[in-house]
Amino acid sequence: MTMATESVGAATARRAGRQRLARYLARRLGQAAITLVAIVVLNFVILHLAPGDAIDVLAGEAGGADAEFIAQLRRAYGLDQPIYVQMAQYLWNVAQLNFGFSFRNNVSVLELIMSRLPATLLLMLASIIVSFTLGVLLGVFAARRVNTFADNAVSVLALLCYATPLFWFGLMAIVLFTVKLDLLPGNGMYTIAANYNWFEAALDVGRHLILPATSLALFHMAVYTRLMRASMLEIYGLDYIRTARAKGLSQRRIAFRHVLPNAILPMVTMLGLQIGALLGGAVLVETVFGWPGLGRLAFDAILQRDHNLLIGILLIGSALVIVANIVTDLVYAWLDPRIEVA
């Protein structure tokens, strides 16, 4: 009778937990939808207040055009309508996953973004792995040797990486590893016209990825290193760590079994917050290295006054940040059973 009662109680608790999780996700998705609408409206208004549009760029590249032809083009693309009419039409199109047409590239915005998104996701994933892994390792290394030469050396390295601009490191990396040593490619995502099989093609993309991913990762590695060191030192001062030392546990066991699992929790939170910064840094890195991702595409869209394309990129980037933060909350709750996402 007791076992049956416990089984029913456990099933009820699991069902209640799933219901709380479903309500939490529904609430977060509702907030995300409102946030995305606000982002679209704000970006739409700001971009359309700037002088010039895609028609001006097209007319300039064609060597000029008369006022009647330019007015005809604006009527054809709906750019002669008041801004509130254009915005309402754009919001209705976005609700149907129609991000408009890129006049400059002569292709739909969604198709163009989807063709560039994998390159940016690959660059971001590689930089996240590099920065997070090195940040954890260096932070643990420094915390276990606090106030020693090794700790000071790691702190100086983190400070240099934090203070070095991404574009400057990228340019210096190209000069050293591409121009001087001829070890790594410094432009593009793959070797053009190379007749590679799938394995050789993957290695080629990996070689092209090393410099841009490292350049993008250094700043965030410095942040993770300092955060990991501070978090571990804080936990080293807690009562249960002193109890573990009193029981005679080795310093290695204390560090990796008791301190590290708790110290890494703030790193997970920071990782979710850094997704937006990674997207911003990708604009510089992709431009320096000619990486064919969303950052380079956004830079070109600004120069070409391609408002539809730029708003679409900003919307997709914002959606990635929102999804990353929701996933971060779920991972945090999974790592720390004391926290309920609901």
Burial of 262 (0-12, 13-18, 19+ CB in 10 A): middle
Q: With bands split at pLDDT 50, 70 and 90, how would you rate the model's confidence at 256?
A: confident
pLDDT at position 88: 82
Contacts of 225 (CB under 8 A, 6+ apart): 134, 135, 138, 139, 142, 154, 157, 158
**Per-residue model confidence (pLDDT) at position 242:** 85
Q: How far apart are CA 229 and CA 147, in angstroms?
A: 12
User: Which of 17-21, 28-32, 310-314, 316-320 has the lowest average pLDDT?
Assistant: 17-21
Going by pLDDT thresholds of 50, 70 and 90, the confidence category of residue 100 is confident
pLDDT at 243: 86
Which whole number is the average pLDDT over 257-264?
A: 83
Confidence of residue 130 (pLDDT cuts 50, 70, 90): very high
List helix spans (H) across 237-306. Answer: 239-246, 251-253, 260-263, 265-289, 294-303
d(CA 187, CA 74): 37
* More confident: 153 or 191: 153
Instruction: Copy the structure tokens of residue 223.
Output: 């942040």
Direct distance between the N- and C-terminal alpha carbons of the chain, in angstroms, rounded to an integer: 32
User: Residue 61 above 80 pLDDT?
Assistant: no
For the full predicted model, state whether its pTM sits above 0.95: no
Confidence of residue 303 (pLDDT cuts 50, 70, 90): confident
215's enclosing H/E stretch is helix 198-236
Task: Please give the backbone phi and psi of residue 22, each rounded to the nearest 5 degrees, phi first.
Answer: -65, -40
Q: Among 96-100, 108-112, 215-219, whose mean pLDDT is lowest?
A: 96-100
Percent of the chain topping pLDDT 90? 12
Q: Which residues of 194-221 are buried (b: 16+ CB within 10 A; e: fewer)?
A: eeeeeeeeeebbeebbbbbbbbbbbbbb
Is the pLDDT at 138 greater than 90, yes or no?
yes
Query: Count of CB atoms within 10 A of residue 316's CB?
Result: 20
Annotated domain spans of the chain = 21-102, 107-335
For the chain, the average pLDDT equals 81
Q: Does the pLDDT at position 183 exceed 70?
A: yes
The answer to whether 212 touches 170, Cβ cutoff 8 Å, is: yes
User: What pLDDT shows up at residue 53?
Assistant: 62
Q: Per mean pLDDT, which range of 142-151, 163-172, 328-337 is the poorest?
A: 328-337
Q: Which two tokens stand for residue 302?
A: 């600004």
CA 173 to chain centroid, in Å, comes to 22
Tell me: pLDDT of 340 over 70. no
Superfamily of domain 107-335: MetI-like (1.10.3720.10)
